[in-house]
Amino acid sequence: MILMNEPIVQITEATRTYHLDGTAISALRGVTMEVRQEEFISIAGPSGSGKSTLLHLMGGVDLPTTGEVRLFGNVTHRLTDRTLSNLRLLRVGFIFQRFFLLPMLTVEENVLLPMLEAGLQAQRRGERLEDLLSYVGLAHRRRHLPGQLSGGEMQRAAIARALANRPHLLLADEPTGEVDQQTGQQIGRLLQRINGEGVAIVLVTHNPELAALASTRLTMRDGLLS
């Protein structure tokens, strides 16, 4: 149970070092930050500055080399894969630059996946699917495969999938990186609407217009937040 104003993500002095061909690369060099409920944070910065790495630590798909990440009060590096996966499944939504919709599944099957994995009852699943497809404006495209959709439609389908289990936190990694400007604006408005309904959003983007939608704007440079 997360109380109002209690941070849902707490990052304390987190570092992340990768080893590539024997060379240590510091992607994060001691980052401390919080994400609170209903907050909308954008993180901008040049390529390779550590934005995506920070997003991955927040979502529990990566663990800090040193320091600590608390996700909904849980220290991520102390959790089992099962618990961490359940946290991601039920409380965190991910949106990727390349959408990562499963190409052999229709839009509705892609959106249903997290609900099936969470074991949601068929009736509730069906109702939730209808709501989500209407919400992102894809009800008429429900039986189409991702390959039959435009970039904007694919990203909206990916957003519907990310919202399937009513997450408290939505992590978006360059969500407009593969769409044109007008579609990017539509995605931005959709994210604003989602945030307005109580979902905290952390958005990594190069797009200044999209970043400007956030209530808190951060910049990363050389693995540090400013």
Instruction: Tell me which residues touch another protein (CB under 8 A).
Output: 18, 52-53, 56, 59, 61-62, 81-82, 85-90, 92, 94, 96-98, 100, 102-105, 109, 113-114, 116-118, 161-162, 165, 173-174
Cβ nearer to another protein, comparing 7 with 93: 93
- The smaller minimum CB distance to another protein, of residues 26 and 85, is found at 85
Least Cβ distance, residue 61 to another protein (angstroms): 4
Minimum distance, C-beta of residue 5 to another protein, in the bound complex (Å): 26
Residue 81 and residue 90: Cα distance in Å, rounded?
14
Nearest to 214 by CA among 185, 198, 197, 191: 191
Least CB distance from residue 125 to another protein, whole Å? 11
In this structure, the strands spanning 74-75 and 224-225 are unpaired
Gap between the Cα atoms of 167 and 182, Å rounded: 27
Q: Tokens 């099936």 correspond to what residue?
A: 116
If you compute the radius of gyration of the chain from its CA atoms, what whole number of angstroms results?
17
The DSSP H or E segment spanning 81 is helix 81-91
Q: What are the tokens at 142?
A: 């429900």
Residues 220 and 27: their CA atoms lie apart, in Å, by 11
Q: Decide whether 2 or 102 has the Cβ nearer to another protein.
A: 102
Provide, rounded to whole angstroms, the least separation between the CB of residue 118 and another protein. Answer: 7
- Which CB sits closer to another protein, 39 or 173? 173
Polymer length of the chain = 226
Residue (83 or 150) nearer to another protein, CB: 83
Give least dist CB 28 to another protein, A.
Answer: 11
